[in-house]
Amino acid sequence: MGKLEGKTAIVTGAGQGVGRAIAAAYAGEGARVVLATRTVSKAEDAAARIRAAGGDAAAIACDVAVKEDVARVVAFTVERYGTVDILVNNAQVFKNHTSVLDHSDEDVYRVFNSGYMGTWRFMRECFSYMKDRGGKIVNMASAAGVKGLATFAAYASTKEAIRALSRVAAREWGEYGINVNIICPLASSEGLAESTPQEGLDAIAAQLPVRRLGQAEDIAPIAVFLASRDSDYLTGYTFFADGGSSIDAGR
């Protein structure tokens, strides 16, 4: 029996990268998974692969920056599976390699509306289904915010806002058996590969204690742990899945 047998999960940004790997890992542990993403063809492909492997998954189009889309995804999940037990807020538009002064208002609004507002909206929509039976919420942040990396102003600020929201919700919702935790991942992705030359990726890997850049499959087991009963006594914490890059972040 899988660790998530009988549970229903929503994973946003599940068409590729970390989100896709988490959705597959959840299904492998017995969860019924709804994959929500803007590019629904990618989510449909991921869901089809899960079903081919014997899992239960459905894909749905969703722009997390649109309030109505968020409500529609949760309503779809409840209609299909009865409730929501697990929520992973992974979708995020990002803006990087831009100085503080060169960020436009539109850049900041777009990144914040996708990351923070999308996370907040999904958490609020799912709360009523978790309130009486408990639940697990896993939100994605970034060391870019924790470390204050240059040229990541909008993205870093948004991710730190998500961490703050997660800690507040962990305090307010703990009495309902709802755990809210955060993962700060560092893994190779399409976006990272597109924005960073290979020598840059090699330089990142060389600076890590583990001497390699992580893959999405390195992050998924941590998300499984945070969605399972194994993490029942943990809430409001940030887990740095980054090969030791943020080794001093907890000090």
- Does the annotation count 237 as an active-site position? no
> Among candidates 78, 12, 16, which has minimal Cα distance to 41?
16
Residue with tokens 């920056």: 65
C-alpha of 174 from chain center: 20
How does strand 178-185 pair with strand 238-241? parallel
- CB neighbour class for 194 (10 Å; exposed up to 12, middle 13-18, buried from 19): exposed
How far is 73 from 43, CA to CA, in rounded Å? 13
> Among candidates 248, 247, 244, 155, which has minimal Cα distance to 204?
244
Work out the angle at residue 240's Cα, subtended by the Cα atoms of residues 36 and 60, and round it to the nearest 5 degrees.
0
Selecting among 81, 116, 155, 237, the annotated active-site residue is 155
Which are the catalytic amino acids?
A: 155
